[in-house]
Amino acid sequence: MKANTIIRRFGRFAACVAMLAAAACTGNFEDYNTKPFRPSDDDLNGDNVGVGILFPSMMEFVTHFQVNASQMHDVLVADELGGYTSAVKSYQGQNIATYNPSDKFNDYIFEQTFANFYGNYFKVETQTGGEGPVYQLARILRVAAMLRVTDAYGPIPYSKMQNGTFSVPYDSQRDVYMAMIDDLDAAMETLYTFASAGDGILMRDFDISSFKGDSRLWVSFANTLKLRMAIRMSGVEPEARRIAEEAVRDMATYGLIDANAENLSFSSDSRQNPFYTQATSTSWQDLRSNASIVMYMNAYEDPRRASYFSKSGYDGIYVGVRAGIQNVTPTDYATYSYPLFAEKDPVPVMYASESWFLRAEGALRGWAMGGNARTFYEEGIRLSFERCGVADQLTAYMASTALPGGYDDPAFGYSCSNQSTVTIPWNDGAAFEENLERIITQKWIANFPLGTEAWADYRRTGYPRLFPVVVNNNPDITNLQLGARRMTYPLEEYEANGETIRAAVDQWLGGQDKMSTRLWWDCNPRIR
- pLDDT tens for 383-422 read 999 999 999 999 999 999 999 999 999 999 999 999 899 9
Q: Name, in order, each residue with C-beta under 8 angstroms of 308's C-beta and a sequence gap of 6 or more.
A: 289, 293, 297, 339, 340, 388, 448
Q: What is the DSSP letter of 480?
A: T
3-state helix, strand, coil in the chain (%, to 5): 50, 5, 45
CA distance 385 to 123: 42
More confident residue, 81 or 24: 81
Question: Which backbone phi and psi does 156 adopt, to 5 degrees?
Answer: -145, 160
Nearest residue to 57 (alpha-carbon basis) of 33, 22, 27, 32: 22
Chain-centroid distance of CA 269 in Å reads 23
CA distance 502 to 497: 9
- pLDDT tens for 95-111 read 899 999 988 888 889 98
- Preceding amide of 464 cis, omega within 30: yes
Band (pLDDT 50/70/90 cuts) for residue 268 is confident
CA distance 515 to 506: 15
CA distance 99 to 87: 13
Would you state the pLDDT for residue 460?
97
Mean pLDDT within 113-137: 94
Q: Which domains does the chain have, with CATH numbers?
A: 5-66+97-269 (1.25.40.390)
Band (pLDDT 50/70/90 cuts) for residue 37 is very low
CA distance 102 to 39: 44
C-alpha count within 13 angstroms, C-beta hemisphere, residue 83: 30
Nearest residue to 388 (alpha-carbon basis) of 474, 307, 504: 307
Would you state the pLDDT for residue 49?
52
Overall size of the chain counted in residues: 528
- pLDDT tens for 471-503 read 999 999 999 999 999 999 999 889 888 899 999
Positive or negative torsion for Cα 35, 39, 44, 50? negative
CA angle 488, 81, 310 (to 5 degrees): 145
CA distances to 195, 207, 357 from 39, in Å: 18, 18, 40
Beta bridge partners of 266: 209, 347
Mean pLDDT within 269-298: 93
Beta bridge partners of 264: 350
Q: Residue 32: is its pLDDT beyond 60?
A: no
**Candidate from 28-32, 165-169, 357-361, 509-513 with smallest mean pLDDT:** 28-32
Nearest residue to 73 (alpha-carbon basis) of 102, 107, 117, 98: 107
CA distance 366 to 309: 37
Neighbouring CB atoms inside 10 A of 265's CB total 17
Mean pLDDT within 171-183: 98
Mean pLDDT, the chain, whole residue set:
90
Q: What is the dihedral of CA 265, 266, 271, 273, to 10 degrees?
A: -20
Q: Residue 524: is its pLDDT beyond 90?
A: yes
Would you state the pLDDT for residue 306?
98
Positive or negative torsion for Cα 293, 299, 305, 310? positive
Q: Count of H helices and E strands in the chain? A: 23, 4
Query: 347: helix, coil or strand?
Result: strand
Would you state the pLDDT for residue 34?
28
CA distance 320 to 80: 12
- The percentage of the chain sitting over the pLDDT mark of 70, rounded to a whole number, equals 90
Burial of 439 (0-12, 13-18, 19+ CB in 10 A): buried
Question: Which backbone phi and psi does 157 adopt, to 5 degrees?
Answer: -65, 135
Would you state the pLDDT for residue 216?
98
Would you state the pLDDT for residue 166?
63
CA distance 98 to 93: 8
pTM: 0.91
- pLDDT tens for 197-240 read 999 999 999 999 999 999 999 999 999 999 999 999 999 999 99
CA distance 431 to 448: 27
Q: Residue 22: is its pLDDT beyond 50?
A: no
CA distance 154 to 394: 39
